[in-house]
């Protein structure tokens, strides 16, 4: 991973990376605001921003709250536990150029089923009302934006100081390293694959959880 060459010109490469890093977070907030507070009208959001400018955008950006952090923490801990504890077939990934072959436990479908059954059961038996998630969704998105930035810094430092395998290294450019990552297969310990957790468990499982949340809210 020490190769610093890029497919496109440096200008295109840096513009693309910096655009994604800087524009995606505000886009999430604007999309949430449009759907929740502007009746889904892009024109209403545009008119608001045209009238109030940057200060107006700052005012509509929800602030992370304790409730939002608690929801994120409980959900993350639950999905991490499922990833580690549920049984599954052992599968091997492709062999990397350095000779490393990642090993995974294929329990994704089981985690998906347990996640939805648990979530619906908590609602059905009156233990937790998913409407709370919807009502605090803006705060959750905001917390995730700031939290993911901190998490990426952690991954950068981890890849620099304590890589999980030989598939790691620096390109020599801090922007590319931060955007691209310092490790191909970052892990905590031997069994907890961070990429599987962020992409397949915390991320993709939330698609189904949020869909159920929206239905219950309606």
Dump the DSSP string for 8-40: S-HHHHHHHHHHHHHHHHHHHHHHHHHHHHSTT
Q: What's the pLDDT at 100?
A: 87
Domain stops at, among 10, 37, 61:
61
CA 171 and chain centroid, separation: 24
Strands 89-92 and 103-106: antiparallel
Asked if 146 and 206 sit in the same domain, the reply is yes
Average pLDDT over residues 24-39: 96
Token readout for 127 is 């233990």
Mean pLDDT of the residues in the chain: 93
Distance CA 149, CA 92 (A): 30
Domain containing 146 equals 62-217
* Count of structural domains, the chain: 2
Asked if 82 and 29 sit in the same domain, the reply is no
CB proximity list for 178: less than 8 A, separation 6 or greater: 152, 156
| Torsional sign, CA 168, 177, 11, 142 | positive
Asked if 56 and 85 sit in the same domain, the reply is no
Asked if 114 and 202 sit in the same domain, the reply is yes
**Whether the Cβ atoms of residue 191 and residue 108 lie closer than 8 Å to each other:** no
Q: How many Cα atoms within 13 Å fall on the side-chain side of residue 113?
A: 5
Q: What percentage of the chain exceeds 90 in pLDDT?
A: 83
Distance CA 148, CA 154 (A): 10
Distance CA 19, CA 109 (A): 34
Average pLDDT over residues 152-162: 94
Average pLDDT over residues 148-176: 92
Q: What's the pLDDT at 49?
A: 96
Report the Cα–Cα distance between both ends of the chain, in Å, rounded.
48
Q: With bands split at pLDDT 50, 70 and 90, how would you rate the model's confidence at 4?
A: low
Residue 171 has pLDDT above 90, yes or no: no
Residue 73 has pLDDT above 80, yes or no: yes
- pTM reported for the whole predicted model: 0.90
Asked if 112 and 191 sit in the same domain, the reply is yes
Asked if 121 and 181 sit in the same domain, the reply is yes
**Closest to 110 in 3D by CA, of 212, 216, 200:** 200
Distance CA 73, CA 93 (A): 29
Q: What's the pLDDT at 2?
A: 45
Domain stops at, among 61, 94, 110:
61
Token readout for 72 is 């994120």
Asked if 114 and 182 sit in the same domain, the reply is yes
Average pLDDT over residues 5-23: 84
Residue 8 has pLDDT above 90, yes or no: no
Q: With bands split at pLDDT 50, 70 and 90, how would you rate the model's confidence at 98?
A: confident
**Whether the Cβ atoms of residue 184 and residue 98 lie closer than 8 Å to each other:** no
Asked if 74 and 172 sit in the same domain, the reply is yes
Average pLDDT over residues 2-22: 78
Asked if 76 and 56 sit in the same domain, the reply is no
Asked if 193 and 91 sit in the same domain, the reply is yes
For residues 204, 83, 94, 154, the Cα torsion angle rounded to the nearest 10 degrees is 80
Token readout for 193 is 């694959």
Domain stops at, among 17, 39, 61:
61
Asked if 151 and 171 sit in the same domain, the reply is yes
CB proximity list for 107: less than 8 A, separation 6 or greater: 82, 83, 86, 87, 88
């Amino acid at each position: 991973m020490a190769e610093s060459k890029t497919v496109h010109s440096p200008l295109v490469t840096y513009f693309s990376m910096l655009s994604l890093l800087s524009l995606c977070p505000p886009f999430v907030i604007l999309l949430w605001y449009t759907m929740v507070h502007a009746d889904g009208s892009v024109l209403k959001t545009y008119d608001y921003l045209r009238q109030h400018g940057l200060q107006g955008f700052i005012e509509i950006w929800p602030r992370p709250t304790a409730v939002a952090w608690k929801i994120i923490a409980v959900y993350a801990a639950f999905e991490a536990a499922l990833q580690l504890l549920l049984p599954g077939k052992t599968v091997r990934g492709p062999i990397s150029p350095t000779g490393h072959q990642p090993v995974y436990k294929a329990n994704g479908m089981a985690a998906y089923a347990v996640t939805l059954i648990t979530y619906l059961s908590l609602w059905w038996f009156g233990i937790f009302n998913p409407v709370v998630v919807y009502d605090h969704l803006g705060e959750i998105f905001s917390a995730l934006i700031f939290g993911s930035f901190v998490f990426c810094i952690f991954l950068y430092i981890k890849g620099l100081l304590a890589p999980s395998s030989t598939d790691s290294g620096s390109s020599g450019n801090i922007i590319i390293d931060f955007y691209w990552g310092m490790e191909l297969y970052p892990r905590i310990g031997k069994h907890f694959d961070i990429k599987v957790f962020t992409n397949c468990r915390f991320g993709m499982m939330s698609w189904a959880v949020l869909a159920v949340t929206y239905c219950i809210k309606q």
